[in-house]
């Protein structure tokens, strides 16, 4: 297993920039707005009888995606080590980033636990059977095979925004008000996560300009949502849940384009070309 932590290549932001982005993120969740699996929902109200088959299927799907958190978190542990294997400046950078990843992971773990609990309380799944099926999915390997640090912010920028948008679409159709509440909480968190990654990508573009264009382009060129390669029957399932509520990660590309446009005032040919490329990757839809 190539599982030894090793600092990823490519330019890093100055530690003060990371601190700025992380501090801004942490301020988006004041104590009174935080929520929790055990105390924020009236679980007795959970009722899968109110859901269509498509909605049930969507809940199962997003539970698996959220539940893969250990795999997502490990990507940052592995590529931005917080130990003696890196020099002091790199450590200082990674240490600030860790303040983000640990909070982010805590929130994503809350999403996973909330959806698992919903399935059980609503009568969608048997607790033991669900536990073991999530364990089986959770063992699947997740990796982002990138070579430049900026890519570990560009990828989740798209993924978090796509997830936020999907939860918003889904919450508009689901028949169980408790599930609607859950999806509101989740989509608000995903929006905050997106903002952090968007800040990081903006800071990279402001500081490094053309030098980070190719790595960002590469992320979009072979973008796949998490677990697209490991969940069995992923594409069929993704299409099926899209029948219930629109599910199209390329909707998030517009938001990447906004970040690029905002970061770069006088656009070089290279940046212009990135924007056209990302726009072209956006699925054309009628109506
Ligand atoms: Fe999440
Ligand atoms: Fe998220």
> Residue 66 C-alpha to ligand 2 middle, in angstroms?
8
Q: Please list, in sequence order, all residues whose beta carbon lies within 8 angstroms of the beta carbon of residue 169, skipping any fewer than 6 positions away.
A: 245, 246, 247
- Per the CB < 8 A criterion, the answer to whether 144 and 152 are in contact is yes
Which residue from 155, 181, 158 is spatially nearest to 170, judged by alpha carbons?
A: 181
pLDDT (0 to 100) of residue 287 = 36
Q: Is the pLDDT higher at 130 or at 2?
A: 130
pLDDT (0 to 100) of residue 2 = 54
d(C-alpha 48, C-alpha 266), whole Å: 53
Q: Nearest ligand to the C-alpha of residue 110?
A: 1
Q: Which long-range contacts (CB under 8 A, 24 or more apart) does 13-19 make?
A: 13/93, 13/200, 13/203, 13/204, 13/207, 14/93, 14/207, 15/89, 15/92, 15/93, 15/96, 17/203, 17/207, 18/93, 18/96, 18/97, 18/200, 19/96
d(C-alpha 82, C-alpha 33), whole Å: 30
Whether residue 1 is predicted with pLDDT greater than 80 in this model: the reply is no
Note the pLDDT tens digit of each residue in 102-137. Answer: 999 999 999 999 999 999 999 999 999 999 999 999
d(C-alpha 59, C-alpha 176), whole Å: 12
Q: Is the pLDDT higher at 4 or at 198?
A: 198
Note the pLDDT tens digit of each residue in 188-223. Answer: 999 999 999 999 999 999 999 999 999 999 999 989
> Residue 268 C-alpha to ligand 2 middle, in angstroms?
32
Which residue from 160, 193, 187 is spatially nearest to 174, judged by alpha carbons?
A: 187
Note the pLDDT tens digit of each residue in 23-32. Answer: 999 999 999 9
Among 1-5, 239-243, 280-284, the range scoring the smallest mean pLDDT is 1-5
Among 66-70, 130-134, 173-177, 262-266, the range scoring the smallest mean pLDDT is 262-266
- Per the CB < 8 A criterion, the answer to whether 62 and 113 are in contact is no
> Residue 273 C-alpha to ligand 1 middle, in angstroms?
32
pLDDT (0 to 100) of residue 282 = 86
Average per-residue pLDDT in the chain?
Answer: 94
Note the pLDDT tens digit of each residue in 21-64. Answer: 999 999 999 999 999 999 999 999 999 999 999 999 999 999 99
Q: Nearest ligand to the C-alpha of residue 101?
A: 2
> Residue 163 C-alpha to ligand 2 middle, in angstroms?
7
> Residue 192 C-alpha to ligand 2 middle, in angstroms?
8
> Residue 134 C-alpha to ligand 1 middle, in angstroms?
16
Q: Nearest ligand to the C-alpha of residue 159?
A: 2
Q: Please, what sign has the CA dihedral across residues 81, 203, 201, 110?
A: positive
Cross-strand bridge partners of residue 9: 148
d(C-alpha 215, C-alpha 153), whole Å: 11
CA dihedral 239, 241, 243, 244 (to 10 degrees): -170
> Residue 159 C-alpha to ligand 2 middle, in angstroms?
8
Architecture of domain 38-281: Orthogonal Bundle (1.10)
Exposed / middle / buried, residue 32 (Cβ in 10 Å: 0-12, 13-18, 19+): exposed
Give the DSSP letter of residue 284. P
pLDDT band at 265 (very low <50, low <70, confident <90, very high): confident
Phi and psi, residue 131, nearest 5°: -55, -50
Q: Nearest ligand to the C-alpha of residue 161?
A: 2
pLDDT band at 286 (very low <50, low <70, confident <90, very high): very low
Whether residue 177 is predicted with pLDDT greater than 60 in this model: the reply is yes
> Residue 131 C-alpha to ligand 1 middle, in angstroms?
18
> Residue 108 C-alpha to ligand 1 middle, in angstroms?
5
How close are the terminal C-alpha atoms of the chain, in Å?
A: 47
Q: Where are the domains of the chain?
A: 38-281
> Residue 79 C-alpha to ligand 2 middle, in angstroms?
19
pLDDT band at 100 (very low <50, low <70, confident <90, very high): very high
Whether residue 274 is predicted with pLDDT greater than 80 in this model: the reply is yes
> Residue 15 C-alpha to ligand 1 middle, in angstroms?
26
Q: Nearest ligand to the C-alpha of residue 103?
A: 2
> Residue 190 C-alpha to ligand 1 middle, in angstroms?
6
pLDDT (0 to 100) of residue 283 = 72
> Residue 66 C-alpha to ligand 1 middle, in angstroms?
5
> Residue 112 C-alpha to ligand 1 middle, in angstroms?
7
Share above pLDDT 90 across residues of the chain, in percent, rounded to a whole number: 89
């Amino acid at each position: 297993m190539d599982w030894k932590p090793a600092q990823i290549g490519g330019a890093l932001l100055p530690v003060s920039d990371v601190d700025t982005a992380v501090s801004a993120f942490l301020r988006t969740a004041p104590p009174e707005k935080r929520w929790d699996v055990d105390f924020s929902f009236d679980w007795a109200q959970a009722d899968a009888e109110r859901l269509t088959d498509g909605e049930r299927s969507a809940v199962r799907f997003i539970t698996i995606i959220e539940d893969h958190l250990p795999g997502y978190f490990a990507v940052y542990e592995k590529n931005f080590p917080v130990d003696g294997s890196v020099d002091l400046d790199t450590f200082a950078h990674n240490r600030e980033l860790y303040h983000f990843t640990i909070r982010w992971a805590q929130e994503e773990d809350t999403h996973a636990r909330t959806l698992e609990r919903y399935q059980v309380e609503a009568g969608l799944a048997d607790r033991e059977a669900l536990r073991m099926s999530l364990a089986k999915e959770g063992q699947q390997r997740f990796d982002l095979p990138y070579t430049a640090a900026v890519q570990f912010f560009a990828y989740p920028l798209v993924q978090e925004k796509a997830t936020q948008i999907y939860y918003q679409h889904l919450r508009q159709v689901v028949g169980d008000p408790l599930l609607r509440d859950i999806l509101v909480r989740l989509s608000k968190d995903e929006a905050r996560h997106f903002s952090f990654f968007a800040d990081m990508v903006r800071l990279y573009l402001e500081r490094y300009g053309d030098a980070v264009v190719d790595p960002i382009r590469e992320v979009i060129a072979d973008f796949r949502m998490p677990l697209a390669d490991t969940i069995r029957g992923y594409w069929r399932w993704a299409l099926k849940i899209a029948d219930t509520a629109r599910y199209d990660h390329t909707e998030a590309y517009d938001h990447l384009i906004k970040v690029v446009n905002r970061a770069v005032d006088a656009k070089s040919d290279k940046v212009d070309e990135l924007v056209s490329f990302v726009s072209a990757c956006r699925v054309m839809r009628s109506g």
